Amino acid sequence: MPARPLPITFAFATPADAAEIARLSTHVARHLKAQTDRNATPSVVSEKTVLTSLKTSRVLLARQSAQIVAFLRLSLRKPWAIDPAYFTPVPTALYLTNLAVDPAWQRQGIGRQILDAACVRAAEWPAHALRLDAFANATGAGAFYTKCGWREVARVTYRRTPLIYYEFVLSTASSPNVANP
């Protein structure tokens, strides 16, 4: 009888995780390039870049045993391509960026699990909504966000790049349970 896989655990990254996050980010970018536009140059993420992001945001990790299998960034700082005018007005919004799932772990529910974990962490922050943008093309994950219960709020073009804005409004109740009205 095969061994049951260990559960996925979630925790915020520390500087000790930077090298592994950089390797995973670069690996995911190369995998995406191979599946889509072969002329595009995949981004190579350095450990220094990750360490800088840890100063301005929180990086949520999904681990299976000791291995990082997915991560995402949560920040109060609005990314340059997002116009808050399209989103539900809330006192505090977090911006979700850089969601990456190890290709060996894709299509196993890890992406949905880390999004759910991000919503729980955001409610504890406390934040009232999560916001993100996705490319409005084959490399974008718009259908994935919709399946996970995120609401599309706008389609925009920023510097000739078509984007889709998504939000997840958190429950205003005091419990950590989340709901998207």
In a domain, 2, yes or no: no
**Mean of pLDDT values over 169-175:** 61
Between CA 8 and CA 78 the distance in angstroms is: 29
In a domain, 174, yes or no: no
In a domain, 54, yes or no: yes
**Mean of pLDDT values over 38-49:** 70
In a domain, 138, yes or no: yes
* Strand, coil or helix: 40: coil
Range of the domain at 44: 8-169
What is residue 176's predicted lDDT score, i.e. its pLDDT?
40
Neighbour tally for 15: CB within 10 Å: 11
Whether residue 76 is predicted with pLDDT greater than 90 in this model: the reply is: yes
Using an 8 Å Cβ cutoff, are 72 and 28 in contact?
A: no
Domain holding 118: CATH number? 3.40.630.30
Higher pLDDT, 142 or 170: 170
Whether residue 6 is predicted with pLDDT greater than 70 in this model: the reply is: no
**Mean of pLDDT values over 134-152:** 86
pTM for this structure? 0.84
In a domain, 181, yes or no: no
**Mean of pLDDT values over 80-109:** 91
Using an 8 Å Cβ cutoff, are 169 and 88 in contact?
A: yes
Q: What is the pLDDT of residues 16-25, one digit of tens each?
A: 999 999 999 8
**Mean of pLDDT values over 79-105:** 92
Q: At 27, is the pLDDT very low, low, confident or very high (cuts 50, 70, 90)?
A: confident
Using an 8 Å Cβ cutoff, are 71 and 97 in contact?
A: no
What does the mean pLDDT of the chain come to?
A: 85
φ/ψ (deg, to 5) at 156: -135, 165
Domain count, the chain: 1
In a domain, 179, yes or no: no
Question: Tokens 């259908």 — which residue?
Answer: 143
Using an 8 Å Cβ cutoff, are 74 and 41 in contact?
A: no
In a domain, 98, yes or no: yes
In a domain, 140, yes or no: yes
